[in-house]
Amino acid sequence: MRINKFLALCGIASRRKSEQLILQKRVKINDRVVHNLATDIDPKKDIVLVDGKPVHFKEDFIYLMLHKPKGYITTTDDEHNRPTVMDLIKVPDDRRVYPVGRLDYNTEGLLLFTDDGELANILTHPSYKIEKTYIARIKGTITSEEVNKLRSGVVIDGAKTAPCKVNILRMDEKSTRLEITIHEGRNRQVRKMLESIGKETQFLKRISVGKIRLGGLARGKFRTLNKREIAHLNELKG
Which amino acids are annotated catalytic? 104
E strand or H helix at 110, and its extent? strand 108-114
Residue 128 CA: distances (Å) to CA of 79, 84, 160, 177:
32, 27, 18, 28
Minimum CB distance to ligand URA, residue 113 (Å): 16
4 interacts with ligand URA by CB under 6 A: no
Q: Which stretch binds ligand URA (CB under 6 A): 10-18, 56-64, 184-192, 227-235?
A: 184-192
DSSP tally for the chain: helices H, then strands E: 6, 15
Minimum CB distance to ligand URA, residue 180 (Å): 9
Q: Which is nearer to ligand URA, 15 or 206 (CB)?
A: 206
Minimum CB distance to ligand URA, residue 91 (Å): 23
190 interacts with ligand URA by CB under 6 A: yes
In whole angstroms, what separates CA 67 from the centre of its chain? 13
Distance from C-alpha of 123 to C-alpha of 118, rounded to nearest angstrom:
9
Binding characters for ligand URA, 81-110, by CB under 6 A (x = yes): ----------------------xx--x---
Phi-psi region of 105 (alpha: psi -120 to 50; beta: other; left: phi over 0): alpha
SS3 of residue 208 by DSSP: strand
Minimum CB distance to ligand URA, residue 141 (Å): 20
Q: Which stretch binds ligand URA (CB under 6 A): 42-50, 90-98, 182-190, 230-238?
A: 182-190
- Are the CB atoms for 225 and 63 separated by under 8 Å? yes
Q: Given the rule CB under 6 A, which residues bind ligand URA?
A: 103-104, 107, 188-191, 204
